[in-house]
Amino acid sequence: MLATRRYVLALFAVLLLASCGRAPTLPRLSPHDVILAFGDSLTHGTGASEETAYPAVLASLTGHTVINAGVPGDTTATGLQRLPAVLAEHKPRLVLLCLGGNDMLHQQPAATTENNLRLLVQTIRASGAEVVLIGVPEPRLFGGAPHFYARVAKDMKLPLEQDAFNEVLKDARLKSDPIHANAAGYRVVAQRLDEFLKEAGAL
């Protein structure tokens, strides 16, 4: 009896630890739910056409409406200014948040970028939408996404995709210039996000 009780307690502890390490999940989207891709030139599709930017490709892969709300040159600060109007206009159920690259190019303090990302997430959640945070690699050789993306994701219990753009921007065949993808690169990003959203339970 005592051995059985110890076994049950040990099993419970293992399951508890496993659940603690599990990545945050997302509610399943209904067919009519809108996805908003909010970001800068990487979201806009600079280096490719509107039809081959990642939001358009993701729409074709998922069957969902995916709004391209990418503005070239946008920083986390300017994104904060325009976000409320974009949310009010499109009423998304899910927002793919991809900002921070221009902050790095302009050498903004990392703490400022991190704080702005937190404010962006809070604003999105206040609208009733879910958030996926997309990490942007640092604009340097072999630069992965800065650690603040992982901190924001962990603290705010967000799904984080931090490999797609890092993978693409390391491959010259997938780039139109040093900091932007080409059509093939944006397709890779869209495919990675499609897989990510399926694993997170949204699709």
Q: Which pLDDT score, from 0 to 100, does residue 117 have?
A: 98
* Residue 163, token pair as written in the block: 């490999």
Q: Which one of 19, 30, 32, 177 is the catalytic residue?
A: 177
For the chain, count helices (H), then strands (E). 9, 7
Q: Which pLDDT score, from 0 to 100, does residue 12 have?
A: 46
Q: Give the pairing of strands 180-181 and 175-177.
A: antiparallel
Q: Which one of 32, 40, 41, 147 is the catalytic residue?
A: 41
147 flagged as catalytic = no
Q: Which pLDDT score, from 0 to 100, does residue 21 have?
A: 46
Between CA 55 and CA 82 the distance in angstroms is 19
Between CA 29 and CA 201 the distance in angstroms is 9
180 flagged as catalytic = yes
All residue ranges of the chain with pLDDT < 50 are 1-4, 7-21
Q: Which pLDDT score, from 0 to 100, does residue 16 have?
A: 42
Q: Which one of 44, 74, 103, 180 is the catalytic residue?
A: 180
89-120 pLDDT, tens digit per residue, is: 999 999 999 999 999 999 999 999 999 999 99
User: What DSSP character marks residue 22?
Assistant: S
Q: Which residues of 6-36 are buried (b: 16+ CB within 10 A; e: fewer)?
A: eeeeeeeeeeeeeeeeeebebeebeeebbbb
> Do residues 122 and 128 touch, judged by C-beta distance below 8 A?
no
CATH homologous superfamily for the domain 34-200: SGNH hydrolase (3.40.50.1110)
177 flagged as catalytic = yes
Q: Which pLDDT score, from 0 to 100, does residue 139 have?
A: 80
- Note the pTM of the prediction, 2 decimals: 0.88
Between CA 157 and CA 141 the distance in angstroms is 30
Q: Which pLDDT score, from 0 to 100, does residue 113 have?
A: 98
Between CA 181 and CA 82 the distance in angstroms is 24
